[in-house]
Copies of this chain bind each other. A is one copy, B any other.
Amino acid sequence: MPREGQAVISILRDKIVSGEFPAGQRLAEIPTADLLGVSRTPVRIAFRALAQEGLLIKLPRRGYQVREVTTEEISGAVEVRGVLEGLAARQAAEKGLSQSTQAQLEQCLMQGDAIFNKGYITEDDLEQYNLLNKQFHALIIQASGNPAIQSAMQINEHLPFASVNALLFNPEQLDREFRRFSFANMQHHVVFEALVNRQGARAEAVMKEHAHATLSQVELNDNADSRKLINSAE
């Protein structure tokens, strides 16, 4: 049985978040199907799914359109991520960490320290840190034991630039980025400490603040061309 359906969704999602399909672009079924070399059926399903994710908007009788994402929306989504991850941290603290989760979080922290203890960073370092960061956040959401948090974040996570999975950095100012991400790594330590000590409110507050650190408002106003996006595929 052809099992391309999921692939079509991923390909189209990539083309959207990478900017290959620019914001505002209209997408019809037939040209898209031709482009991907599949029939209209999987494309139709993909369009619906991506519309539900919020990447496309449906124009009645005119197909779909790549959604415009404004900086207001991004900061709104970051704010949402903050409260959701804050909630996850609080619930994880209240519930207590399992042995295994605690060990895995410590592992993340140690590997992060190794990166920043050098005193400088390279692009490769950031790529590696991106994976660690992703894992750290995923572990805490897991540890909260609240599946609704993950569901609620799903939609947000697909918005380009708003996701934890997409670190945005400026390769021309690696020293500044070093300070930024090294600070983020220190915040991870604080969150971890709060989790271990069962300090729910503290964990929540730090995590909420941490959401802003990952994507600072300053970045939003920077020149987009000079930035680089590490978008780890799922």
Contact = CB atoms under 8 A, between A and B. Distances in A.
Nearest to A151: B155
Interface in A156-176: 156, 159, 162
Interface size class of A (residues with CB under 8 A): 20 to 34
Contacts of A84: 80, 83-84, 152
A229 interface: no
Instruction: Kindly list the 9 A-B residue pairs having the minimum CB-CB distance in the complex, ordered from nearest.
Output: A76-B146, A77-B148, A83-B83, A76-B148, A152-B152, A151-B155, A80-B148, A83-B87, A80-B152
B80 A146 contact: yes
Contacts of A19: none
Interface of A: 44-45, 48-49, 52, 54, 72-73, 76-77, 79-80, 83-84, 86-87, 91, 145-149, 151-156, 159, 162
A121 B91 CA distance: 36
Contact of A156 (B54, B80, B152): B152
Contacts of A159: 148
B80 A87 contact: yes
Nearest to A1: B61
A147 B77 CA distance: 8
Contacts of A146: 76, 79-80
B155 A73 contact: no
Nearest to A70: B147
